[in-house]
């Protein structure tokens, strides 16, 4: 069992400023290859600042619902999504492991969430995604690479994020499949994610840009797929809620 510490996360979110982060756009575009967002109702679990929901609304989602236990995180999300009408956005403060919203959504997704759980809690995390989905689930986590495994052992990672681990590709895919969803994608991407970055004070953004340029573009043709630092698993419900095969 592994559960991220609530207080640690609340302190982490209080340092963020409610602005769009490029990495989330990259994750969104990868997900959108497999899930048509236009006109869908989406539920983002462990939403944090709501970056995935931001991109979903920009791509024509009909409505987004964000769930997070952290009030500072939802305050940032409210700020990030303030340009959309209030009837297109719902914010819910809750621990989603115990969540039952009493309805299903076209897409239930998360990024940077499932790696904070282990054992029965990881299974429960995936089950809460599928329980609320009438059609699609999408879960993005750090891949089980040597770089990310080193991050998982680093005390600084746990000081910032609480419990944090890597999950093998097929383990996550199996957990989604066991909930009655056909796995449409189980793929690694973003080779720069997790690779150590030597940071010099005052040049962090420039170094991050060069870091992505080298690993995600210049070296991408020769680096193996297994170097992909992020893992995306997308599932589609095998049997519809009325008992018909999808």
Tens digits of residue pLDDT in 79-115: 999 999 999 999 999 999 989 999 999 999 999 999 9
| pLDDT, the chain, mean | 85
Nearest-angstrom CA–CA distance, 136 and 123 = 17
Nearest-angstrom CA–CA distance, 142 and 149 = 9
Nearest-angstrom CA–CA distance, 196 and 13 = 23
Check residue 162 and give its pLDDT.
Answer: 82
Q: If you compute the radius of gyration of the chain from its CA atoms, what whole number of angstroms results?
A: 17
Strand partners, 235: 137, 183
Tens digits of residue pLDDT in 25-45: 889 999 999 999 999 999 999
Q: Please state the domain extents for the chain.
A: 2-193+225-237
| Residue 217 predicted with pLDDT over 50 | yes
Count of CA atoms in the C-beta half-sphere (13 A) of 81: 30
Check residue 218 and give its pLDDT.
Answer: 72
- Per-residue confidence band for 1, with pLDDT thresholds at 50, 70 and 90: very low
Q: Determine contact, residues 121/97, Cβ cutoff 8 Å.
A: yes
- Which overall architecture, per CATH, does domain 2-193+225-237 show? 3-Layer(aba) Sandwich (3.40)
Q: Which residues contact 10 (CB under 8 A, 6 or more apart)?
A: 70, 71, 72, 73
Tens digits of residue pLDDT in 110-157: 999 999 999 999 999 999 999 999 999 999 999 999 989 998 998 888
Nearest-angstrom CA–CA distance, 214 and 206 = 12
Check residue 2 and give its pLDDT.
Answer: 44
Check residue 240 and give its pLDDT.
Answer: 60
* Ordered alpha helix ranges (H), 33-133: 51-58, 71-80, 120-131
- Give the residue carrying structure tokens 């009325």: 242
Q: Which residues contact 232 (CB under 8 A, 6 or more apart)?
A: 27, 30, 31, 138, 139, 140, 185, 186, 187, 188, 189
Check residue 13 and give its pLDDT.
Answer: 52
- Give the residue carrying structure tokens 């009655």: 180
Sign of the CA dihedral 165, 171, 173, 175? negative
Higher pLDDT, 70 or 235: 235
Q: Determine contact, residues 230/143, Cβ cutoff 8 Å.
A: yes
């Amino acid at each position: 069992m592994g559960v991220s510490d609530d207080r640690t996360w609340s302190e982490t979110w209080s340092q963020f400023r409610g602005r769009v982060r490029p990495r989330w756009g990259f994750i969104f575009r990868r997900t959108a290859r497999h899930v048509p967002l236009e006109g869908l109702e989406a539920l983002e679990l462990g939403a944090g600042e709501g970056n995935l929901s931001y991109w979903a609304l920009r791509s024509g989602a009909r409505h987004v619902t964000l769930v997070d236990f952290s009030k500072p995180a939802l305050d940032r999300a409210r700020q990030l999504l303030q340009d959309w009408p209030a009837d297109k956005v719902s914010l819910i403060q809750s621990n989603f492991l115990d969540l039952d919203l009493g309805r299903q959504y076209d897409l239930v997704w998360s990024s940077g969430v499932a790696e904070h759980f282990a054992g029965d809690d990881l299974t429960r995390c995936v089950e809460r995604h599928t329980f609320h989905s009438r059609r699609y689930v999408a879960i993005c986590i750090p891949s089980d690479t040597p770089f990310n495994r080193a991050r998982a052992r680093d005390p600084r990672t746990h000081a910032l994020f609480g419990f944090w681990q890597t999950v093998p590709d097929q383990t996550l895919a199996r957990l989604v499949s066991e909930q009655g969803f056909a796995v449409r994608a189980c793929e690694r991407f973003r080779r720069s994610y997790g690779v150590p970055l030597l940071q010099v004070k005052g040049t962090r953004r420039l170094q991050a840009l060069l870091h992505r340029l080298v690993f995600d573009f210049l070296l991408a043709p020769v680096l193996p797929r297994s170097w992909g630092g992020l893992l995306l698993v997308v599932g589609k419900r095998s049997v519809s809620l009325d008992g018909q095969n999808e």
